[in-house]
Structure 1
Amino acid sequence: MEERFALLIDADNVSAKYIKPILDELSKYGNVTYKRIYGDWTRPNSAGWKEELLQNSITPIQQFSYTYGKNATDSAMIIDAMDMLYASELEGFCLVSSDSDFTRLASRLRESGKRVIGMGEAKTPLPFRKACEIFTELELLLEDNMMGAAEREEKVGLHAVSGKETKKMISATREQVEEAVVKIITENKNNDRETGLGEVGSRLVKLYPDFDVRRYGYSLLSKFLETLPRLMLIQEGTKVSVALYEDKSRKEMVEEYILYQIKTSGENGIPLSALGNRIRLKFGDFKVRDYGFSQFKPYIQSFPEVELQGEGERTKAVYAPEL
């Protein structure tokens, strides 16, 4: 049975352009039972929301600003949330605001055993982010909603070539994430346990509530983890686990990573340009001449289980094990 959520939006701090990404993201967690938005609908700046309310069946809650500087919207939203907490059978709440005034509300809902998904713009203060079980930046949702798969791949490639991190505010650096995953794997190894990809994702969110692989230019956790030098992914059927590169030379690590990328690309293979970008992102100081070759193509061609197809920029590496 799907979990039931209440979606509560602070219209004073959130633009109407985010509504589709918000609803798409929340659908991943469960069924949205309540959809309410709070604001003073007599004000001109709320006009952008009115069409979206009709199209998405969101109930507007009117709150007049009786006193300058006092936020009546926050109070109404908090009161409604507490009423729902005691009177409704909900598993969770989605609080959409860039305002830290909802920090205590998020904490109180979690104290009552409810899941709290927070969403807000990049300017959202850290206390509210930390009070939520999961926090997602609206700019990331909007960008991801408008971007196709090919554009994501190109974006990742550009980051790989330039060596630059995303300019968005990141609470955890790539190095901090890698260190956290290494610690998780080590703890599990000490207890003779494997580390599943799902466990890594859930524990990273517990450590960093606003952790989101889209911050680093990826749409999948597995693709992001593959770029971290000390980590490797092992797939057995549908099961994916995360492990450490251990007791292996640099050459072995690079070759194993390359073969894994080609294998998992399927029968269509992977373009050499995309493969090169991924290698440089994973191993920042990778130079093909260190492996006895002057060019990348002959190096990949030297792998006995790899076949090159196509010409020029369209050349692809395909996994073709010898029979």
Structure 2
Amino acid sequence: MENDRKIAVLIDADNVSEKYIKYIFDEISNHGTPTYKRIYGDWTKPQLTPWKNVLLNYSITPIQQYSYTTGKNATDAALIIDAMDILYSENVDGFCIVSSDSDFTKLAARLREAGMYVIGMGEKKTPTPFIAACEKFKYLEVLAAIPAASDEPKGKKPETQKDGLADIDDLIESIKIIVTESSDEDGWAFLGEVGKKLNMRYPDFDTRNYGHSKLTPLISSLKQFEIQPRRTSNPHITHYFIKNKA
């Protein structure tokens, strides 16, 4: 099960603000249990002082890495070396790399080659190669956006994510293709399967990127699909199917 995963959480303090810490660990709890919690930076630098105030509260181990050479990112190197050591220890099922830096693209790819579940988290400025190298990628600004746009008063149009792998037009086209490929002879496709395939195509796919907390209201808002609820033998469970509009 997903929540049984043991996840190593490695944070690049040079590229992430401490204001996101709660949202980072709230999101990780949806994917597994953090077993390693480490954060990397030169803790002699005053700009990292705000991080020091939250480390104890979340039991994160700070890893000191001095910047010996100008122009070289020693923090990145330390994080990468630790990640490989943890990989070879065979004590985890996955990694969460928290950074907006493309320098971790090859690391994410290497970890996935080894069969690891890899989540990336970073700001919307994160380069596309790093996003694509992760199995899933979460935008920190979106995780921290509370309340969600779908909970805002009616009449207010939610903003849509434009910086990741799929803008709204790409998303609609991908959903249409997936529905066509996955549908029965009447054109209906199970919404859960559509969501699963969207996650496979776009590592950064998250309904919250488009202003909705769940997939069904997002699909409904696109106005391109029919939605059909179907009851199951369990009165508390309803399955949803979608169909491309003619």
TM-score, reference length from structure 1: 0.69
Q: 1:12 to 1:176 in 2, by over 3 A?
A: same
Q: What's 2:243 paired with?
A: 244
**Scaled by the length of structure 2, what TM-score is found?**
0.90
| Structure 2 partner of 1:273 | none
**1:187-206 alignment to 2 at 5 Å?**
187-189=181-183, 195-206=189-200
2:63 aligned partner, one-letter code = I
Equivalent residue, structure 2, for 1:319: none
| Cα 1:213–1:22 shift into 2, 3 Å | same
The equivalent residue for 2:177 is 183
Q: 1:156 & 1:240 partners in 2: Cα distance? A: 26
Pick one of 63, 66, 74 that aligns with 1:64. Answer: 66
Counterpart amino acid of 1:188? S
Structure 2 Cα separation of the partners of residues 176 and 183 of structure 1: 11
**Structure 2 CA distance for partners of 1:156 and 1:206, relative to 1, 3 Å:** farther
Aligned-pair identity in percent equals: 52
Q: Match for residue 55 of structure 2?
A: 53
Counterpart residue number, 1:158: 156
8 Å CA contact 1:231, 1:242 repeated in 2 = no
Q: Is the 8 A contact 2:183 2:190 kept in 1?
A: no
**Superposition pairs of residues 85-96 of structure 1, within 5 angstroms:** 85-96=87-98
Matched letter for residue 122 of structure 2: G
* Residue type of the alignment partner of 2:123: E
Q: For residues 29 and 49 of structure 1, do their structure 2 counterparts lie closer, same or farther at Cα, with a shift above 3 Å needed?
A: same
The structure whose RCO (Cα within 8 Å, separation 6+) is larger is 2
1:131-170 to structure 2, matched below 5 A, reads 131-143=133-145, 147-148=146-147, 152-154=150-152, 157-159=155-157, 165-166=159-160, 169-170=163-164
- Residues 230 and 241 of structure 2 are in contact (CA less than 8 Å); yes or no, is this contact kept in structure 1? no
Q: CA deviation at 1:230?
A: 2.5
2:74 partner letter? A
| Structure-2 residue corresponding to 1:126 | 128
Q: Secondary structure at the match of 2:222?
A: coil
Q: Show the 5 A alignment for 1:1-323.
A: 2-143=4-145, 147-148=146-147, 152-154=150-152, 157-159=155-157, 165-166=159-160, 169-189=163-183, 195-237=189-231, 238-245=237-244
Instruction: Give the superposition deviation at 1:194.
Output: 5.6
- Quick check: which one's helix share is greater? 1
1:156 positional shift: 6.4
SS at match of 1:211: coil
- 5+ residue gaps, structure 1, are 248-323
Write the deviation string for residues 170-194 of structure 1: whole angstroms up to 9, x where unpaired: 4322222122122112112367896
Aligned-partner SS, 2:24 = helix
> What's the offset of the Cα at 1:229?
2.1
Query: Helix, strand or coil for the counterpart of 2:157?
Result: helix
Q: RMSD value over aligned CA atoms?
A: 2.1
Residues 246 and 171 of structure 1: CA distance in aligned 2, closer, same or farther (over 3 Å): closer
CA contact under 8 A between 1:194 and 1:241: conserved in structure 2? no
Q: Deviations over 1:97-132 (max 9, x none)?
A: 010000000000000111110001111111000000
- Taking a change above 3 Å as real, the CA distance of residues 148 and 139 of structure 1, as seen in their structure-2 partners, is closer
Corresponding position of 2:234: none
Aligned pair in 2 of structure 1 residues 152, 62: CA closer, same or farther (>3 Å)? same
How far 1:169 moved relative to its partner? Answer: 2.4
Provide structure 2 residue ranges, at least 5 long, that are not aligned to the other structure: 232-236
The Cα of 1:234 is off from its aligned counterpart by 2.1
What is the letter of the counterpart of residue 242 of structure 1? F
Instruction: Flag the 1:60–1:173 CA change in 2: closer, same or farther, 3 A.
Output: same
Contact 1:8 1:93 in 2 (8 A): yes
Deviations 1:21-50 (A, max 9, x none): 000011000111110000011110110001
SS of residue matched to 2:176: helix
